[in-house]
Amino acid sequence: MYELTVLLDENGKEPLYEQIYRHIKAQIREGKIESGERLPSTRLLAEHLGVSRSTTQLAYDQLIAEGYLTSIPCKGYFVAGVEGLCEISSEKREGYEGK
């Protein structure tokens, strides 16, 4: 099981669940957490990070919705194969007029 250490900014503008989500997503995209790797339960991660379980659940739910994680009942959360996933940027592209 992969152990996650996320540096959280409790006073930042970004919600804690989003900080966790972005950290895990980056780790997966960079190959630091590999496909098939089991992640800690939401309860264990919450305890480790000192946040509520609902905070970690929100982060995992977003990762599942985007295809980065899969959930197997009674077994846990696992990194999905992300080779086919694409990154969509919300930044405006130069020369794009939105037509």
The residue assigned the tokens 């905070």 is 55
Give the least confident one: 41-45, 66-70, 71-75, 80-84.
Answer: 80-84
- pLDDT tens for 20-47 read 999 999 999 999 999 999 999 999 999 9
The 3-state DSSP composition of the chain as helix, strand, coil percent (nearest 5) reads 35, 10, 55
Long-range (24+ apart) CB contacts under 8 A made by 28-32 are 28/68, 28/79, 28/82, 29/82, 29/87
Rounded to an integer, the average pLDDT of 48-76 is 97
Structure tokens at 2: 């992969």
Is pTM beyond 0.95? Reply is no
Q: Does the structure show a pLDDT above 60 at 95?
A: no
